[in-house]
Amino acid sequence: MNGYNLKLENGRMSFQPERDYKSKILFFALLAAGIFVVTPMLHLYRDIQWCVMAVGLVSAFTALYDFIFHFNVTYIFDQYTRQVYKKIPGLFTRKIMPFEDVFILHIQEDGLLHYALSHKQNKYGKSFAISQPFGTNRKSQIRQEGFETEILTEIEKIIHHSV
């Protein structure tokens, strides 16, 4: 599935669940760039100029934070080590849990469904979102069906397949 950057190779499956942050990142990056370019050209009072620049700075940090910690997050299911890893490229790769502890939760928040990985012993403790939220409209239901048939089935195959 192109939207999730799914890769299957040599007993490893990796995918990026939150690729839908792209439009949000672009919006905040363009807002920040626009503010930093236009504001110095306007003849504003110094206090107002600093307030507008602060909005631009917050927008830039929001875009950067989402790019680093959401957009590029990759989950790796390694069949040989039988571990699930969370990778933030350029920063770290962290072991999350062994395959034996994996439980896939269907979480309903604010009327939106999303899927998450959780530990079997503590299902409603710390969890890791593996899908974007799915709404009730037709487009969201098509995305949800695609996620369930392509991503979730591959996760189930790799977790329950013996080495």
Q: Where are the beta strands (DSSP E) in the chain?
A: 7-9, 12-15, 74-78, 83-88, 92-98, 102-109, 112-119, 127-129
Q: Flag whether pLDDT at 25 surpasses 70.
A: yes
pTM: 0.79
Q: Flag whether pLDDT at 163 surpasses 80.
A: no
Q: Flag whether pLDDT at 132 surpasses 90.
A: no
